[in-house]
Homo-oligomer: A and B are copies of this chain.
Amino acid sequence: MATQNKAADATPETLHRIFTVPEAPDSTLSKIEQEISQNLNRFLQNHIAASDRSLADIESDFSDPTIPEDPAFVSDHTQFLLDKLVAQSVHTSSPRFIGHMTSALPYFLMPLSKIMIGLNQNTVKIETSKAFTPLERQVLGMLHNLIYGQDDAFYQSWMHSANHSLGAFCSGGTIANMTALWVARNNVLKPDGDFPGIHKAGLFSAMRHYGYQDLAILVSERGHYSLGKAADVLGIGRDQLISIPADGNNRICIDALEEKIVELNQANIKPIAIVGVAGTTETGNIDPLNALADIAEREGIHFHVDAAWGGATLMSNNQRHKLAGIERADSVTIDAHKQLYAPMGAGMVLFKDPSLVASIEHHAEYILRKGSKDLGSHTLEGSRSGMAMLVFACMNIISRRGYELLIDQSIDKASHFARMIDAHSDYELISEPELCLLTYRFVPQRVQAALAIASDEQVDLMHDLLNDLTQFIQKRQRECGNTFVSRTRLTPEQWQRRTTTVFRVVLANPLTTHDILHEVLEEQARIAQQSEFAYPRLMTLAESILKAC
């Protein structure tokens, strides 16, 4: 049991060692690390079993709120983490995990991550980040260029300018969206004569000064939930996040938006932003961005595009036309930890006009001094890691053309899966993929036949049972751990906007094969028959309808 470099007792010597001496090459930690270095996928396959331990059971391993008095051996604790945490975590990089936006990571990110964490830079200020500051500004420049494609002179002027910012790195899309709306709100309620601006005087004073009845943010009903949270945090209020109906393809209805704007103008309610979605979290659809830009320009409203998911599509010259108009947005959110294949924690917001961030600029005595290039002067967060390094590495090692292939493949795969669902007699495609997301559900052939001739009431009843069944299948499938899809609720036009529970699939993982997709359908059909309630009732009901006919 003897291992070197253990921290058996908390003494100054053992503690000193923790900060200096590396693990012995034959320690558990070293072995695990080597295994991961050699093949992350094999490591994950061996260590993340299809475990059917219940959450309550797992919780029992994590139930002691006491900080241990005495130190654990590094190797012992690593073994604990391996058994109780790693083995019970979710294999997000598995090609069979196609339910959320976390995919396999390129292997080169593992060792680079270790360097990034070892360097422990803090990008809030140059003094703790030095070269990481220009690096981060360059990555923001690259993404800005991808969206807005300004000329060289533009980037040479603004990319490294102390008092400007092409955007901000964030922990994720939520903070990115919040930052964009913060900027938009502060620009609407900006300093004016004696009024010092909302940033100083607050929203209440600002509203009294400007005389608006209220504020609003406009977005389709398919907008991400972070926008509601941002509306809450920014003091605008969730009810003032005005939800505009989406059409049958989950895209904002322009007419409904126009009507709402007229209504708001008449009521003296000031929209601080129109948010375009590219693409929606649930179905991957993209709003008509040019039409939104036209309206925003005409009305003088900040135009933000939430491309947290779809922004990566700009990498493909074959697909980027789907986001036409994004270059007219005042601000854009992109998550590099989604389809740019960076690890969790790499959100970004980009600003068309590098001066726009002036409305949120702030300083302090010990850092972020005026004229300094400290990145923290224009971010909602304070201390931040050097995550930009990993995005930078992806840009260089994968390259634009590499991303194009990845994006094109993922969209092709989604299209293939959609046709597979169409061709299968027991499934119904709910949303056609525009990017690599689609939704569908299991509807046995006989039920489909019955639905075609059923009365409205009977359809309602079958619909409820189908919703139960979809939920049952998704939960059981998740618990089995062989494959994973997520689920959500939509209101599809083909079902007269009935609330419909659906499977949601994201096909971003390059390792997901057609065979796996086939397997998913097979497994779901199998699980359906294990349902003791919804499935038999549904079949009985369908038969009785078909018989009556």
Contacts and interface: CB of A to CB of B under 8 A. Distances in A.
A175 B198 CA distance: 20
Nearest to A488: B366
Nearest to A239: B200
B120 A93 contact: yes
A64 B138 contact: yes
A185 B42 CA distance: 49
Given A86-B115, A159-B63, A478 B127 contact: yes
Nearest to A201: B237
Given A118-B44, A204-B215, A237-B202, A71 B36 contact: no
A4 interface: no
A37 interface: yes
A51 to B, nearest CB: 9
A235 B198 CA distance: 7
B77 A102 contact: no
A128 interface: yes
Contacts of A405: 10-12, 15
Interface stretch (A21-29, A253-261, A287-295, A461-469): A21-29
Interface in A41-96: 41, 43-44, 55, 58-59, 61-74, 77-78, 80-81, 84-90, 92-93
Between A74, A145, A402, the greatest number of chain B beta carbons within 10 A of the residue's beta carbon is seen for A402
A498 interface: no
Interface stretch (A129-137, A323-331, A451-459, A515-523): A129-137
Given A68-B400, A71-B401, A62 B215 contact: no
Which of the four size classes fits the interface of chain A? Answer: 35 or more
A84 B18 contact: no
Contacts of A404: 10
Interface in A379-418: 380-386, 389, 393, 395-402, 404-406, 409
A488 to B, nearest CB: 4
A32 interface: yes
A240 interface: yes
Interface stretch (A226-234, A242-250, A427-435, A535-543): A226-234
B18 A397 contact: yes
A352 to B, nearest CB: 14
Contacts of A368: 225
A525 interface: no
B20 A30 contact: no
Given A121-B90, A142-B66, A215-B204, A198 B237 contact: yes
A546 interface: no
A441 interface: no
A171 to B, nearest CB: 4
Given A344-B122, A504-B366, A239 B202 contact: yes
Interface stretch (A105-113, A297-305, A526-534): A105-113
A184 to B, nearest CB: 13
Contact of A214 (B205, B232, B360): B205
Nearest to A141: B65
A334 to B, nearest CB: 12
A152 B174 CA distance: 35
Contacts of A61: 131, 134
